[in-house]
């Protein structure tokens, strides 16, 4: 089993606003794809269409850095909204108005192909793997950690910017 090193603490974004969930979903998906992340949608749920509804999705976005390592960003989106119709001179637009909560966190997954897990039978072999991670791949892991931090800072910034710009309040 792979070893996970949590690098970046979870960043939470909470806001009350009017926006279009489908557009936000597409923007976030294209953001991840443009940067080479493969998206695994762990959960997606929508409930309650009449009065108000909840939308929830959980993504695990992975980018393979080498045969030993992946960097992973997890996005947990929860929206408790109701539909609102915005009438423009040319057309009508249905928006969602309510509370949005987004949590973004990340970690590095090492030994993704279980090269060491198959061999670890004693504490000494586990110690050897830790030495390999620290001294053999140490500078490389620092580079990956830096990349992961920058990507998470960028996605959080872009989410905040998107929610601020695409408000219809």
Q: Which pTM value belongs to this model? A: 0.82
- Domain extents for the chain? 3-165
pLDDT digits (tens, 9 = 90+) for 25-36: 999 999 999 999
pLDDT digits (tens, 9 = 90+) for 54-69: 999 999 999 998 887 8
HEC states along 49-80? CCCCEEEEEEEEEEEECCCCEEEEEEEEEEEE
């Amino acid at each position: 089993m792979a070893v996970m090193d949590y690098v970046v603490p979870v960043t939470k974004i909470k806001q009350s606003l009017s926006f279009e969930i489908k557009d936000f979903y597409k923007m976030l998906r294209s953001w991840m794809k443009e940067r080479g992340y493969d998206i695994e949608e762990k959960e997606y749920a929508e409930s309650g269409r009449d009065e108000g509804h909840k939308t929830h999705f959980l993504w695990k976005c992975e980018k393979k850095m080498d045969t030993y390592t992946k960097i992973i960003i997890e996005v947990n989106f929860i929206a408790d909204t109701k539909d609102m119709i915005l009438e423009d001179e040319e057309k009508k637009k249905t928006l969602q108005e309510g509370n949005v909560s987004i949590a973004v966190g990340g970690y590095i997954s090492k030994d993704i192909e279980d090269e060491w897990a198959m061999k670890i039978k004693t504490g000494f072999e586990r110690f050897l793997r830790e030495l390999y991670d620290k001294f053999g791949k140490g500078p490389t892991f620092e580079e990956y950690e830096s990349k992961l931090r920058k990507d998470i800072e960028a996605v959080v910034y872009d989410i905040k910017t998107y929610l601020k710009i695409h408000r219809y309040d």
